[in-house]
Structure 1
């Protein structure tokens, strides 16, 4: 090696070390908290109908529950096991836990402020009154007391805690009352715990109307825990009720399965699910006014670290607020909409003919999920269909997709289904569907050792005059009819021979021992997606050097992988223009001088959950567009079976490049811009030309998808 070659190599090594500097990366957990803050912001946004704002408050709380059960519990495991490996941002495990507590505390204060000071008064203006114990009149208190004694009292079991009664077990996410009691004439405090039966009764108990005027004017509610607290004398007769405080414990719910030691994966998952409710505590939520002596006692029994305590000045467990969306108040909800059905499908009832003629894209929820269901129903009953192969990750309850597969078995079709039993928090649903499919005679596979199957694929094999034809559906979203109404996802139907061959080979990998990896078009993780995406980024860098027109647009849910981020940093340093729209976690810092000057990062949180994944590379004017199931996170790229597929149809590709991507990138209402320090700014409003991507796509269905209709 001559001296100049050695100098070049040294510079490359220096650049690589520089791009590994921890200050260039945002911590994954703290980035997620910023995303959830955006959800909370939507609860304050008066452009949403009132009950939809309460929905966002409930989503914020539900997201936090899962965050603690999975992410924070994982950090606790690392702390207990002394794991020394640091994330790219360099924060130790304890530092992350302390920062999580620091960043969440003001958000929880804001959550209760929004509920107490904004939403409750606005609900009252709309005739929906949320009472506390002090605002119930005597007449209604008597009615509620009778209801409590008849319906709730028999269910409750007070549990004492003293020298002869052990501290009661507090199950995961159970709502509880800590009750302080005294015997007559005694000054000694006694402790009892009551589990609130909010799974058996509504969290908000409707107060019966006492007059005709009440019926016409208002709906009145009281929290279940307040109703119980107001009647504790019935549970503890002869005792003085000193105080009561609601509290809740969150436990580690990230079940671990020793797959290599399990003889039967289905049984192993079933057994592990039951442990979810008895995992190690990771968070204790209490009311703000709980006496220090009580919280100290609970801390001794439940908390290992001070950062586990969260005191709230309002209701504990606001995820239950979803129940308010059951109110029959359409005036306080988003107006319903009818998703479009492409005219090609309406004109030609033969779905196989439609797909043979040309690839077909469906953009949910703006376009209906029903054609996907119809595709499977048709395949189930078509005498020329020989086989159906499918992956199922999250299907929901009462799934029409699974019913179509069961029908296919009744019609004698060969049905092969890969059911991902380890889809977190959907394990029980998936176990039920797996058993039903097995009973029907389907070939059911439970995934690959050590990997989750997250790819969204369906393959239909049909015998036609020309021979065997394979029809494929691929998507960014799950085969779930319910979430298809609230998540934005893009699915693609094709009969392209090379793609259908790729999908056939991939199913053989999933169900058998095939080691096939030479796909024509698909990028398949683990291995293939990271390698393919970094290669495409580097290709844009080369194009930028030679022609100066390098451009990349990525729209996805999360960007965390350090190698991909370093590739994007290198591309920016070369001058490639990079637009990233990342809904949730983004560990890349945009706008750093000399590092990411050419990178902008935006995010949209609105009525629908942005779930679409689109990868655009300018490619010298011959654009390449990929879509699919994968985000750019280590779990997607290393520990899951994921698929990205190219959009080969020129019309569909143009529609994505000229309409779908631009309308999202030019949103001026819901867009936030990521700053180098990890915080976000809202785009300054443009009252003259407000653009809200989701609303525009709802309103312009007949325009943006006109290529489908021609």
Structure 2
């Protein structure tokens, strides 16, 4: 059997390597390895390393819910799916889950062997009950008795009771007991779900140390109190992840008729199917066999962990107030280059003087917030229109829009209520605005609104001036401190005309003419980008200067990839900066020899999208919210805007230049889809996440990309 499996693996690996595309899901796994690589860096403090470890765990949860869940939609309903790797459903499932097992093993190994021994340096530890003093055990016992015990509900599964509904991503115990029935001993399974509204760790304060006792270990210690006079055979901690892929329109490889069929079937489901079972080692084999049968899973879906189950619980330690000085301090934000001589101006006058590029998180989002808040109060502002995808909690944007409505201004807000995992928050914020009198639109049919646009209409004397903001990031003041994003503010009429047309199209029944300075999806963004790529190929073939640089989160659209392959063959130098999923194969002979791909993973989440075309030494540069993905082009309302202002265009080019120079946070993609850390090789360290704090007009002026 080992020989047969070895032959199977060789055949699978051969198919994967023959394909001209990298599998989206296998590429994502490589991305999470790059995040995990941050945990290994000894120059980072322990808490910072724990932060990145918790991020990898959160990433993994979402991946199982959405991407593994999507795969099971095909398997469960016996639909065919051919992955970019060339593999069908079952071979791909085996390959993907095998890779995920290897990742989880590496995750747990780093936590137990590299991080845990360092906890004492930060004056904390994670301990079990046996590690506590008698007085501390008494304290924990009181906590269990008064707080935890009343909240616990054992749920037995037997011939008389239906199998209990176990919640997604929640820790619970599976308890195997022995009972006597009609003179025969009989095993039963009961489940005890750990309350979600209790802290993951009980905190004990010693003189120079904080002891974090996992809530599950407290419950395990006293679990017998829930099963009096019953023999407990096994007590095993576990956690399940369910299929959460219900935003079916966003599945890139799914057929329209299958979407409708799945929607009908999913309506009958109370919960998503189980796609992962995390469990302690040496768990009851009898219980595991039963759970495998009930949930229709196999050993590929079972992940053992002998340390902390659910590493996302580490956030309680990472964010603990006692350690707030143990994390690296935030650097002082710098003023946007184009605003450094305009700080005492009225906010409207500032943006009338010149176009402004904001580069977050190095530049604050404050100028934008101040613009919206001032507009809400200004008697000359007539209307505010905005698209909203994700908002901060206690959002200043929402507060400003509410104030604007209160002050009698027309406010239109397109809220995307299908923003994954933010649906509830967005619905609540949208309802607030709607109740106040704001004109709220909840998306356009099956399309997800992902574009980021703001339009403020202000009467100034006999004229009306329109203030426009477009960008790559959400209107979220919290994430603006964590993500690299671009915001662009202008009062130029040619932008305002396009943006006004765009709002009319998405809020009404307008069918706009072709935009002059916007590329939009799902209308013609892909086609326009393909035209720009083909133009570079023609220039290269004619011996003219050419070049393409694209910075994005993900590259997955096969039509864009094929066009880049063709341009590479024509001699166009192509540099791609792709943070996460990248399905192109760089450096393959006779296919992509002129294509290089880097990924930057560091202190900030790379989130800006910039598309640069050399255009015979007259660069064309677009920026916006869209990645090169099927969903971005076909199933989302997206936009990219053209830089006209030479200064702002140069700033965008400098962002690309700094990214390409980065030899601290950069990983180089190999032909086989793996990544290697870019080494400095005697060069001076260039960390783009630090260098942007020191950017100067002179550096921008000198920027030349090809």
Same fold (TM over 0.5): yes
Call closer, same or farther: CA 1:165–1:429 in 2, change over 3 Å: same
Secondary structure at the counterpart of residue 24 of structure 1: coil
- Mapped contact 1:172–1:251 kept (Cα < 8 A): yes
Matching residue of 1:339: 333
Out of 30-39 and 242-251, give the one that drifted further. Answer: 242-251
Matching residue of 1:287: 280
Call closer, same or farther: CA 1:287–1:303 in 2, change over 3 Å: farther
- Mapped contact 1:172–1:277 kept (Cα < 8 A): no
1:220 paired to 2:204: no
Matching residue of 2:453: 457
Matching residue of 1:204: 201
Matching residue of 1:369: 365
Shift of 1:183: 6.0
- Mapped contact 1:697–1:704 kept (Cα < 8 A): no
Q: Of 394, 410, 423, which aligns to 1:398?
A: 394
Q: Of 637, 642, 650, which aligns to 2:638?
A: 642
Q: Of 296, 302, 325, which aligns to 2:289?
A: 296
Matching residue of 1:15: none
Secondary structure at the counterpart of residue 77 of structure 1: helix
Matching residue of 1:239: 230
Shift of 1:276: 9.6
Shift of 1:527: 3.0
Out of 645-654 and 232-241, give the one that drifted further. Answer: 232-241
Shift of 1:466: 5.0
Out of 354-363 and 73-82, give the one that drifted further. Answer: 73-82
> Structure 2: how far apart are the matches of 1:222 and 1:563?
52
- Mapped contact 2:46–2:122 kept (Cα < 8 A): no
Pairwise CA RMSD: 2.4
- Mapped contact 1:246–1:287 kept (Cα < 8 A): yes
> Structure 1: how far apart are the matches of 2:270 and 2:465?
48
- Mapped contact 1:232–1:241 kept (Cα < 8 A): no
1:117 paired to 2:113: yes
Matching residue of 1:411: 407
- Mapped contact 2:533–2:563 kept (Cα < 8 A): yes
Call closer, same or farther: CA 1:705–1:389 in 2, change over 3 Å: farther
Call closer, same or farther: CA 1:295–1:635 in 2, change over 3 Å: same
> Structure 1: how far apart are the matches of 2:247 and 2:667?
36
Out of 299-308 and 635-644, give the one that drifted further. Answer: 299-308
1:68 paired to 2:61: no
Shift of 1:149: 0.7
Q: Of 404, 423, 429, which aligns to 1:433?
A: 429
> Structure 2: how far apart are the matches of 1:344 and 1:662?
22
> Structure 2: how far apart are the matches of 1:705 and 1:443?
41
Shift of 1:186: 9.7
Shift of 1:693: 1.1
- Mapped contact 1:283–1:308 kept (Cα < 8 A): yes
Matching residue of 1:104: 100
> Structure 2: how far apart are the matches of 1:341 and 1:276?
52
Secondary structure at the counterpart of residue 619 of structure 1: coil
> Structure 1: how far apart are the matches of 2:268 and 2:54?
25
- String of CA shifts for 1:444-463, please: whole Å, max 9, x gaps: 11111120110000001111
- Mapped contact 1:252–1:276 kept (Cα < 8 A): no
Call closer, same or farther: CA 1:703–1:135 in 2, change over 3 Å: farther
1:663 paired to 2:634: no
- Mapped contact 2:553–2:578 kept (Cα < 8 A): yes
> Structure 1: how far apart are the matches of 2:600 and 2:225?
51
- Unaligned regions of 5+ residues in structure 2, if any? 1-15, 251-264
> Structure 2: how far apart are the matches of 1:687 and 1:128?
38
Shift of 1:147: 1.1
| Aligned counterparts, 1:351-370, within 5 A | 351-370=347-366
- Mapped contact 1:569–1:595 kept (Cα < 8 A): yes
> Structure 1: how far apart are the matches of 2:697 and 2:40?
32
- Mapped contact 1:521–1:646 kept (Cα < 8 A): yes
Call closer, same or farther: CA 1:280–1:528 in 2, change over 3 Å: same
Shift of 1:49: 2.1
Matching residue of 1:312: 305
> Structure 1: how far apart are the matches of 2:35 and 2:128?
26
> Structure 2: how far apart are the matches of 1:154 and 1:45?
43
Out of 324-333 and 608-617, give the one that drifted further. Answer: 324-333
> Structure 1: how far apart are the matches of 2:121 and 2:328?
18
1:697 paired to 2:679: no
Shift of 1:332: 2.4
Secondary structure at the counterpart of residue 547 of structure 1: coil
Matching residue of 2:324: 330
Matching residue of 2:598: 602
TM-score of the aligned structures, taking structure 1 as reference length = 0.90
1:683 paired to 2:674: no
| Aligned counterparts, 1:553-632, within 5 A | 553-632=549-628
Call closer, same or farther: CA 1:258–1:44 in 2, change over 3 Å: closer
Out of 72-81 and 324-333, give the one that drifted further. Answer: 324-333
Out of 107-116 and 320-329, give the one that drifted further. Answer: 320-329
> Structure 2: how far apart are the matches of 1:496 and 1:161?
67
Matching residue of 1:11: none
Shift of 1:464: 1.4
Out of 324-333 and 609-618, give the one that drifted further. Answer: 324-333
Out of 454-463 and 235-244, give the one that drifted further. Answer: 235-244
> Structure 2: how far apart are the matches of 1:491 and 1:440?
28
Out of 396-405 and 315-324, give the one that drifted further. Answer: 315-324
When the two structures are aligned, how many residues end up with a matched partner? 668
Call closer, same or farther: CA 1:425–1:701 in 2, change over 3 Å: farther
Shift of 1:117: 1.3
Matching residue of 1:192: 190
Shift of 1:340: 2.4
Matching residue of 1:469: 465
Matching residue of 1:278: 271
Shift of 1:169: 1.4
